[in-house]
Structure 1
């Protein structure tokens, strides 16, 4: 099975508007996936929470992170579809999928309704081709749950279903294609050692991103 290292692809504007619910959802999914897999290997889901303009070093760190992950979870919203960088993250991960010889490692979460989006309108959709790629994958629908209590049974069932889908896809990939160690992005990144916790990338300066563990 591939090492369960994922990438949380979303916009900071959605994180701010939801008052941190995207980070909470990522943390809960990470915990559920860990339960579905067991104590080992450790689940890591990278999350860039820095609301900063992309710069060359920052972009390289994100590119490196995506290049070392086994799955990606795009949080689909109108803002996501308008985002140039979110589109690039999907394109970058498609290259990673090709390396892993799998087309089942993108797990879109439909967080806010996008049925009204005109994909040929660049003001509404940055990349029509990226949207078509996303549409070709099986979306999981969170639209009716996003305003609920995230500790509710309904949200728990949603997370269980998604975690099982991720686990199943990671197991299907040939072990010869799996990463052999936990990601080491570069000298600016450090990873905590506590098991049974999730991982988030936090920015302290535009040129340094530190990976820390959430307790």
Structure 2
């Protein structure tokens, strides 16, 4: 494994939600990638699990990508905070902030940059303690949203987000091989069905 960061941003989202997955794939990931890439002097790498090849060991790939990402961008919804994988990604980066001394107010920048996809009233207290970017007014997952007048506002908002993320990326702590990565316990195997003759 390389002894450096591989990704600038790790996008964390509730994968079982088809609307959120489509929105991240069709709009958020693309615009964020373009905006960051245009602003930074080097090529930007964003981890979005839609890019994983078939046959990949999914938990292992996620674990490796998270450990080698500078900043976590969670796409927050109420179910995000009920999903074991999402919580593992959030708490892994929160632990890194703690180890790197990034938890004191007014101190160095934090490593979690949450955006709100929907309904922030039902988020847990630890999420409400963070400043979040509200993207609810642009949470249309459909591709044809790109032709709507509101898409220009969305594009501009992503530009502002990219500007703030640039600073977090550049000020990320030096990579360490012992960055903690939490993963949920594996699901038990599904019992085989007995064929009926």
TM above 0.5, one fold? yes
TM-score by length of 2: 0.68
Matched, 1:158 2:160: no
Higher radius of gyration, 1 or 2 = 2
Q: Give 1:123-142 correspondences, 5 Å limit.
A: 131-142=124-135
- Mapped partners of 1:77, 1:26: distance in 2: 17
- Mapped partners of 2:60, 2:20: distance in 1: 28
- Mapped partners of 2:163, 2:88: distance in 1: 27
Identify, as 1 or 2, the structure richer in helix.
2
TM-score by length of 1: 0.63
Q: Secondary structure at the match of 2:136?
A: coil
- Mapped partners of 1:113, 1:69: distance in 2: 27
- Mapped partners of 1:36, 1:160: distance in 2: 9
Task: Find 1:143's aligned residue among 114, 118, 136.
Answer: 136
Q: CA deviation at 1:179?
A: 4.0
Q: Secondary structure at the match of 2:34?
A: helix
Kept in 2, the 8 Å contact 1:73–1:106? The answer is yes
Matched, 1:35 2:38: yes
Q: Secondary structure at the match of 2:120?
A: coil
Kept in 2, the 8 Å contact 1:105–1:166? The answer is no
**Structure 1 regions of 5+ residues with no counterpart?**
51-56, 120-130, 181-215
Identify, as 1 or 2, the structure richer in strand.
1
Q: Which residue in the other structure is 2:50 paired with?
A: 49
Q: Which residue in the other structure is 1:195 paired with?
A: none
